[in-house]
Structure 1
Amino acid sequence: MYNKIFNRTGKVLVIILILAITAYAIIKLNKNKLDYIPIQPIAVNSLGEKYVGHDTCIECHLDIVKTHLETAHFKSSSISSKNNILGSFLEGANTFKLNDAVFYKMVLNKNEAFQEAYHSKDNKKISSSKFDITIGSGTKGQTYLTWDKNRLYQQQISYYTPTDSWVNSPQYPLYKIKPRPVIPKCLGCHTTYVEPLGNYLIDKTNNRYKKKNIVFGIDCEKCHGPAGNHVALARQDRLKSEGNAIIGFKNLTRQQRLDACALCHSGLSEKTKRGILNFKAGDTLFHKSDHTTNNQNLDVHGNQYGLLIQSQCFVKSDQMDCTTCHNAHKNERGAVSTFNQKCIGCHDLETLTHRETLQDLDCIKCHMPVQASSKLLINGQERDSIMALKVRTHLIKVYE
């Protein structure tokens, strides 16, 4: 009896051992396949390229992503929530008088926010639109977008940081309530990727988009391209043998690096005829004939590139580009000493007339002063109160 039991046990152990060896061999032979976790893209462009988002980039680039999440670029757009809308919803601070006949009230309903328009005479509600997308980091202000089916519109009321108050959206009419379509030129600079519905190159007023195919904010893949293939190779440990499948800024020419920034910082002229949503870092945006070299009337808002290339710092350098002074991975706003060191790196301290005041040195305060925009004007609570958005000029020079 005991012999039978031992024989059975031995056979079972042999079978288990064979199965274990077989399983080990299969695992060994298919290691790459078992280690590889298929990528779930958050968006896919017309070429089939996959956007995976910064949560995936964190796997290998934790430190860079952590600091990037604090930048104004990353916060340039997001799905609206009570946590990222800076304007007040408290009674007494949540209203805006549009004109003598209409006023707006900003209200919260559970976790959703709405702009509601009312007749001043009888407090009768005229309309209600939901805060769906928040545009802007809040450094200077925010504006908000609302969906009507697959059409996207800018809301009437925005938020202005300097006065910590609700304001009429820039250039929005005060005398009538009419939604303003959000065209691709806007989203091209406030999102990493968005899929338009219809041909936006032909229909310039097109404001239809696929809601579930948007990558919000200026995220990693805005500058480095869709990272689906890059992550797939990385997870399979095949990057070195098959390339990086990603755009590296250090591998771009100076003009390519400038063009990548100029896409959104050159005034959005017709230089983007082929489509702002089709542009990727490394593509050509400007030709030599497109360059503005002597125009003192460029507005400080949105045309930093046009102002920079007129600066002697730029003209006399064959290497200077936007990344010379800006680290796109970090929030450097207000970092005076950091920018001073950038200037001192090129300008010998011995040549500075104010070297004795180095302790209080603030190069950009004097040579890149904050100026009022003539393009971006905002109406405050009083109908005739017009405020100009103030932006730091990128025309570097000696100012009076």
Structure 2
Amino acid sequence: MKKIILLTIISILVSCGDKKEEAYQKMDPMSIFTNTDSIPNKHYVGNQKCKECHADQFQQWEGSHHDKSMQKATRQTILAPFNGEVFVSQGVTSTFFQKNGKFYANTEGRDGKNHDYEIIYTFGLTPLQQYIVLFPNGHYQCLRTAYDTEKNKWFDLYPDFKVVHSEWLHWSRGGLNWNTMCSDCHSTNVKKNYHEKDHSYTTNYAIVNVSCEACHGPGKEHVSKAVIQGDRYKNDGSMQMTNLNSKELVDACARCHARRENISLFHTPQGTFLDHYYPQLIRENLYYADGQILDEDYVYGSFVQSKMYHNGVSCKDCHDVHSTKRKFDDNRLCLQCHEGPKYDSETHHKHPIGTQSALCINCHMPGRFYMGNDFRRDHSFRIPRPDLSLKYNTPNVCSGCHKDKDDQWAYDNFVKLYGEPKKNHFSDKLAPGIARAEGGKDSLIALAKDTIYPNIARASAVSNLNNYTHLINVKEVLQFLKDKSPLVKGATADLLFELKLGTDNYKALLPLLKDKKRAVRVKAFFALSAVPKSKIPQEYLPFYNKVRVEFANNLKVGGEFSGGRMKRAQYYMGVGKITSAIKTLEEALKLDPINNIVRTSLANLYYQNKQYTQAEQAYKTILEQEPGFGLTNFDYGLLLNELGKPKEAILQLKEALRLLPDNDRIAYNLSLLLFQNNDSKQAILVLKKQLKTNPNNTDLIYLLAYMYHQNKQIDLAKEQAKKLLELQPNNPQYLQFYQALN
């Protein structure tokens, strides 16, 4: 196993009477169930101790973004003036000042009123610095107003986004909570310690910033051996990352440089990235359809898409591992590997030498601004594809740089200069699937099967199949459970949860309970949640029971998120505990009262549980908070009909169809409801209009034929029945219906 994983925590200075540490030491390194005990803070010796023997590395690290990731607030660490500056944004006035040697921000709080908040920590260095205050119950919150350390001015991180003080996204609530959103990657050996009962934290860390030991692991044993053995000491490699291969190094950095979901309660050096986290895959709203960055991805998710990654390039080839700075700020960075005469020339890039346009990174690593002024580059290192821009509205650097030109110009000039784009990139299969283009589902299946493509792209193909659940069955995706890539297996387990398992299909998931990666095991358990334990074969029960504990920790780590509570509710629904699911979703809404994804699930559960009054109120609240979401009108309409209010139900279904005119299911139910309430003329008009959009929908045709028959319009009924047989000649129901009309 990797040396970074095998950091031994046994110290010759540990007392034999310390039972907790003894239990930690007895971890079986051969077990797939890696140790889940946290590492005591006293096992971390601190940066100054590292400096005694590693002065050069310390000097490079000192002053870096890692060093300054988080600091206690002092005049030396705070870069903003705090001399009474006033900043106004989105109707909120904030004032920054000093009092009695301390630093304060007067700004809008959780109650919608302004209060003075003391700055406890600084967060970051350049191009911006944020400031953290302490709320009751251990909540540390990052102010929404940050300081631009390059332009020396205050600015709003989200200047175009109005947030009400009661919303989860308000700086004083969950969206900018340090304990859960930031701490794990900005400090060393963080233990979040969230308490669900009172929504409080007792978070602590070993070292305030990203220290030497954040990457190399706790140094107590290493230092103890070095001190005792002196000149006789031989480094066993347990504190070093130099022997990692390129993929292992990226895996180590991924822990903080990946947008991901937490799998374990806290990070320890035991295990790999996928034992503690699972990366966010290429999905809408996070990436563009071709995999280019859209929202923040923290680099890992784009880098593992690249040929660079798959050809042995790692973070350290471009960045100094201790200072984090790029090794070069010009094309020498890329010419470490690529031939200068071939690539650093006008014949290749078609731009004047020495200009910004001639820099490799400006064509192959376009970037976006995040958090207001933080420019970050896409690390997927791709060739511009203006042809994909024309098809799927994805960005390309050509028209991105030439602002006065469009994508068609970019494509025409690309062809003129380089010829037709080579269509051998995974995006040629992923983009149509994400964009729901014709043949999108088959394109995703083909990508997922083809092992020449990056695993993150293949896993993303599987993940995006949940947009085509009406076109696929469970058996179509079972093949991916046997894939060599844990990313693909994890994505498949998630998809199978969405698809719902058949009577026998769950057996294909059982081997994943023995998978080497905790993320895969946990996802498999979740997908199996609707399967009674009595159906688990004896040979898998020991693994099932151990993964059950890992899954419980996975649910616990997301407990302060409404989305995390929703996942727990989904589990309860799977095992038939509807009351527990309802209670969990009600708790989720206390954390985030405007999360209408949660409220919709809750409304549906109320409906299933015959709590009609609560269901109706939930739907009304959703429509008040988010008018224009047609599926809510649809669900509310069905409920109203169930409550014996057909006229009100019809109004809701009409509004739903107005908002979602292509939704055949809404049209079907509206037409049927109209017909049942003696408005056959309007019912038939709804169906005829819908069939102009989707003329081959047999459900709509059959309903129309039925209505004609009930109205004694036999010839018209025959006409529709004939269409049914043309579409499905072997359907016995349609044949019987047609024969009955003759």
TM-score, normalization by structure 2? 0.39
Which residue among 55, 62, 69 is the counterpart of 1:69? 62
Q: Which has the higher contact order (CA 8 A, sep 6+)?
A: 1
For each residue in 1:271-313, what CA deviation from the matched residue of structure 2 results, as whole angstroms up to 9, or x when unmatched? x3114x32437624279x9695885243363331111122233
Q: Secondary structure at the match of 2:380?
A: coil
Which residue among 269, 294, 302 is the counterpart of 1:280? 269
Q: State the distance in 1 between where 2:200 and 2:231 align.
A: 39
Question: Residue 103 in 1 paired to residue 93 in 2?
Answer: yes
Equivalent residues in 2 for 1:284-299 (5 A)? Answer: 284-285=273-274, 295-299=290-294
Alpha-carbon RMSD across the aligned residues, in angstroms, is 3.7
Give unmatched runs, 5+ long, in structure 1. Answer: 1-35, 39-43, 120-124, 379-387
Q: Secondary structure at the match of 2:334?
A: helix
Question: Residue 144 in 1 paired to residue 131 in 2?
Answer: yes
Q: Secondary structure at the match of 1:83?
A: coil
- TM-superposed deviation, 1:242: 7.2
For residue 334 of structure 2, what is the aligned residue in structure 1? 343
Counterpart of 1:343 in structure 2: which amino acid? Answer: C
For residue 106 of structure 2, what is the aligned residue in structure 1? 116
Choose between structure 1 and 2: higher helix proportion: 2
Counterpart of 1:62 in structure 2: which amino acid? Answer: A
Question: Residue 86 in 1 paired to residue 84 in 2?
Answer: no
Larger radius of gyration: 2
Q: Secondary structure at the match of 2:134?
A: strand
Counterpart of 1:95 in structure 2: which amino acid? Answer: V
Counterpart of 1:394 in structure 2: which amino acid? Answer: H
Which residue among 131, 134, 156 is the counterpart of 1:168? 156
1:182 to 1:332, Cα distance in 2 relative to 1, 3 A: closer
Which residue among 116, 122, 136 is the counterpart of 1:134? 122
- TM-superposed deviation, 1:204: 12
- TM-superposed deviation, 1:129: 0.9
Which residue among 309, 316, 325 is the counterpart of 2:318? 325
Counterpart of 1:328 in structure 2: which amino acid? Answer: V
Q: How many residues align?
A: 327
- TM-superposed deviation, 1:398: 3.6
TM-score, normalization by structure 1? 0.69
Q: State the distance in 1 between where 2:197 and 2:342 align.
A: 51
Counterpart of 2:116 in structure 1: which amino acid? Answer: S
Choose between structure 1 and 2: higher strand proportion: 1
- TM-superposed deviation, 1:223: 0.6
Counterpart of 2:178 in structure 1: which amino acid? Answer: V
Contact 1:52/1:227 (8 A) holds in 2:
yes
Q: Secondary structure at the match of 1:302?
A: coil
For residue 306 of structure 2, what is the aligned residue in structure 1? 311
- TM-superposed deviation, 1:372: 3.2
Contact 1:256/1:281 (8 A) holds in 2:
no
Q: Secondary structure at the match of 2:93?
A: strand
Q: Percent identity?
A: 23
For residue 301 of structure 1, what is the aligned residue in structure 2? 296
- TM-superposed deviation, 1:79: 0.8
Q: State the distance in 1 between where 2:198 and 2:341 align.
A: 55
1:334 to 1:253, Cα distance in 2 relative to 1, 3 A: closer
For residue 214 of structure 2, what is the aligned residue in structure 1? 222
For residue 391 of structure 1, what is the aligned residue in structure 2? 376
Q: State the distance in 2 between where 1:165 and 1:334 align.
A: 30
Counterpart of 2:146 in structure 1: which amino acid? Answer: S
Q: State the distance in 1 between where 2:157 and 2:74 align.
A: 19
Contact 1:87/1:159 (8 A) holds in 2:
yes
Q: State the distance in 1 between where 2:231 and 2:272 align.
A: 23
Equivalent residues in 2 for 1:222-261 (5 A)? Answer: 222-237=214-229, 244=236, 246-261=238-253
Equivalent residues in 2 for 1:258-269 (5 A)? Answer: 258-267=250-259, 269=260
- TM-superposed deviation, 1:63: 1.4
Q: Secondary structure at the match of 1:144?
A: strand
Q: Secondary structure at the match of 2:272?
A: coil
